[in-house]
Chain A
Amino acid sequence: DTGVSQNPRHKITKRGQNVTFRCDPISEHNRLYWYRQTLGQGPEFLTYFQNEAQLEKSRLLSDRFSAERPKGSFSTLEIQRTEQGDSAMYLCASSLEPGASQGAREKLFFGSGTQLSVL
């Protein structure tokens, strides 16, 4: 399977604990995005990478959230001191490199997501 892979699929944690999610994008994609989605809402942008560089981070994102993409391949999203309000689906998506046509690079391919429940 050459699609976007996310692990774990589900995570249940207690308030105050730290959690880490992993995303493996499509291999030829060098853009990687993290989104958060709650019930009844569209995906909300968190951050994005081009290769290993984190180019944008949502102003709404708490300092408890951090993301890395150390070698420009897989990415991790860590949430420290989780709160009940962090409960959501965390989606990773990747897209083609800037050298591709504009239309092609704007198409996002999503992973299956990680459903986080904070008790």
Chain B
Amino acid sequence: QKEVEQNSGPLSVPEGAIASLNCTYSDRVSQSFFWYRQYSGKSPELIMSIYSNGDKEDGRFTAQLNKASQYVSLLIRDSQPSDSATYLCAPGGSYIPTFGRGTSLIVHP
């Protein structure tokens, strides 16, 4: 299985700020990446996917992929308290999706 590294946090940002979440992975084969959001006590929910180098924007969320550096990030603009959750990174390219431990994000008013 692929190795996925994430800073467990917590990452604390004020409301309205940009939150930056990062993920590194060990496998150079991965061609796609997925970000899941998990609220406390709930199950993960897919929020973003990215398949090529560069940026992909969806509303307040931007995923950035750098395959050469084996690095993927998720930016959340205009952070809201409702964004407070754990964000899990999962590389694609495998029949067995593997998850990092997740980064806890806290957006305080």
Contacts and interface: CB of A to CB of B under 8 A. Distances in A.
A43 to B, nearest CB: 5
Contact of B97 (A55, A108, A113): A108
B32 A48 contact: no
Interface residues of A, number: 23
Interface residues of B, number: 27
Contacts of B45: 110
A109 B92 contact: no
Interface string B1-38: 10010101000000000000000000000011010100
A45, A48, A107 interface centre (most CB from chain B within 10 Å): A107
A102 B96 contact: no
Given A33-B97, A43-B99, A45-B96, A106 B34 contact: yes
Interface of A: 31, 33, 35, 40-43, 45, 48, 55-56, 89, 91, 102-103, 106-113
